[in-house]
Amino acid sequence: MARLEITRDYILAGNATFTAHNGAGNWYTFKVTRKESAQYGLNYFASFLSGQDNESDFTYLGVIDPEYLRLRITRKSRQHEGSTPVRALTWALDMLSGRVDGSKCPAAEILPSTRCCRCGRKLTTPDSVKAGIGPECAGRGAVAPVRPAARVVTNSSGETSYPAMERHSERPAGGSPDVASLEEDLTQFGPEASIEDVAQKLLNNRLTELGIHVE
């Protein structure tokens, strides 16, 4: 069977989701979204999967320089240069650009997201991506076996990375609630807006709609 592989063109295509794993049970899922605006020009926003919903639970990381395929941390990124997701994406981009020798980590892969062949939902965990079917569908509706949160990692700074267990319901693709994407929020509030800024503004907007006064 041919290996699933992605290229630089895939990363920069506009709405790419991919998973980098080290072959030892650790992985991160990233999304790179292309946005062009008169005010900010062309930007490639990188985020990583930080929750259970692989359609919406992405946290902003930084922007990608399309020429050199390098991640740049911006002022509003909540992740510092040495954080695990930043290092994981940097490693993935270095692999794709040939800046690191992939033969030294032969079990590592950078996989495109795929769709479940039964229900059509997006798949991002390495096993599901390669099988082409989610755990619930593979179990034909039975309760999916609970996998350990394989990549919860606490580094020497005491920083803990997020588990990204795949939420895989029987909801058909496209049938999910219309959750505004992080990128759209960032575009709305500017590329330098932090998650907190966006969340606070969205919350305030909602409270105002409900007629609740916020000090």
Contacting positions for Zn ion (CB under 5 A):
116, 118-119, 134, 137
Q: How far apart are CA 71 and CA 81, in angstroms?
A: 10
The CB-of-123 to Zn ion minimum distance in angstroms stands at: 8
**Torsion sign (Cα): 131, 93, 31, 58:** positive
The CB-of-110 to Zn ion minimum distance in angstroms stands at: 23
Q: Which is nearer to Zn ion, 80 or 171 (CB)?
A: 171
Q: Which is nearer to Zn ion, 98 or 172 (CB)?
A: 172
Evaluate whether 109 touches 124 at the Cβ level (below 8 Å): no
The CB-of-56 to Zn ion minimum distance in angstroms stands at: 17
Q: How far apart are CA 49 and CA 35, in angstroms?
A: 19
* DSSP conformation letters of 126-181: HHHHHHTS-HHHHTTTSPPPPPP-TT--B-TTS-BPPP-PPP--SPPTT-S--PPP
H or E element: which one contains 205?
Answer: helix 195-209
Q: Which is nearer to Zn ion, 120 or 163 (CB)?
A: 120
The CB-of-121 to Zn ion minimum distance in angstroms stands at: 5
Q: Which is nearer to Zn ion, 108 or 137 (CB)?
A: 137
